[in-house]
């Protein structure tokens, strides 16, 4: 198993890509802290981790709050004795319900909430995890950005700016932490079929929802949307020793986007 004996924290681990990462890491031998603000869904994710034969822990954590982040890391180390892997996955377009948010109508409050969740949270979690990784002489940090950081599909300037900031932070941390044997890499998911889309298709029939997802998928050269498990596989590569000479890398997992889909 690729993560035998490792301890991982996955923020936003209750649903979607985060849950898929937790489950795959557990199958590969890791003990996993599922950090999320949704404790009900986090407990369901924990049941899946345990069903996969892994050991897990649920910690309630709002990654924008430094005291909660400190508790998340301290609780993990107290339970499992160490911390090897951090996946900074928590993020969302807060309150947008998938609708574009044009610059002229974007409020300062909405900007602050989205940037805090998607960028400040990565900073706070990484800052708290790094001392433990330095003490171990080993660490893997995987930051989940977005393809929108370099190729926005629709106007969400606060979200895309924050996700671009995650890339800059990834490069900086990789350079700073490399001498301590701490690896820092990022994933840019493209259109992944996660609960993010639930509100967008709410009220549609099953046939209409499938047509909507098929339309999105056709924008990619591979002709389909991705699945959370495909992000989890990329995270496993970065979190394991398969990436033993890779740091400061950004991997699009996007079905070929932003390349244009060919029309035949």
Q: Which residues are catalytic?
A: 159
What values do phi and psi take at 234, rounded to 5? Answer: -65, -40
Question: What's the CA angle centered on 120, arms 34 and 150, to 5 degrees?
Answer: 100
Helix (H, G, I), strand (E, B) or coil at 58: strand
For residue 36, give the nearest of 81, 68, 67 by alpha carbon.
68
Can you read off the two tokens belonging to residue 58?
Answer: 């649920």
Helix (H) or strand (E) holding 10: strand 7-11
CA atoms within 13 A on the CB side of 114: 23
Beta strands per DSSP E along 73-189: 85-88, 139-144, 182-189
According to DSSP, residue 143 is labeled: E
Helix (H, G, I), strand (E, B) or coil at 241: helix
Can you read off the two tokens belonging to residue 211?
Answer: 């047509």
Residues 6 or more apart whose Cβ sits within 8 Å of residue 242: 2, 236
Beta strands per DSSP E along 110-201: 139-144, 182-189
d(CA 175, CA 232): 25
CA 141 to chain centre: 11
Q: Are 123 and 67 in contact (CB under 8 A)?
A: no
């Amino acid at each position: 198993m690729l993560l035998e004996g490792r301890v991982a924290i996955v923020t936003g681990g209750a649903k979607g890509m985060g849950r898929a990462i937790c489950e795959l890491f557990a199958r590969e031998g890791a003990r996993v802290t599922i950090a999320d603000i949704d404790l009900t869904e986090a407990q369901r994710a924990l049941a899946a981790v345990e069903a996969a034969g892994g050991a897990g822990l649920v910690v309630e954590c709002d990654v924008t709050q430094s005291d909660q982040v400190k508790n998340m890391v301290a609780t993990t180390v107290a339970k499992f004795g160490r911390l090897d892997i951090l996946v900074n996955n928590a993020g969302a377009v807060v309150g947008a319900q998938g609708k574009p948010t044009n610059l002229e109508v974007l409020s300062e409050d909405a900007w602050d909430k989205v940037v805090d969740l998607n960028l400040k949270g990565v900073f706070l979690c990484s800052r708290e995890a790094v001392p433990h990784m330095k003490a171990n002489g080993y660490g893997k940090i995987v930051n989940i950005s977005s393809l929108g950081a370099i190729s926005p599909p629709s106007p969400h300037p606060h979200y895309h700016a924050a996700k671009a900031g995650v890339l800059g932070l990834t490069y900086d941390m990789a350079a700073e932490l490399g001498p301590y044997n701490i690896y820092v890499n990022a994933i840019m998911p493209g259109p992944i079929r996660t609960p993010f889309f639930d509100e967008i298709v709410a009220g549609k029939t099953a046939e209409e929802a499938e047509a909507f997802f098929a339309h999105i998928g056709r924008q990619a050269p591979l002709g389909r949307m991705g699945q959370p498990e495909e992000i989890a596989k990329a995270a496993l590569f970065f979190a394991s020793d398969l990436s033993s000479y890779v740091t400061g890398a950004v991997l699009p997992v996007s079905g070929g986007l932003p390349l244009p889909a060919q029309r035949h």
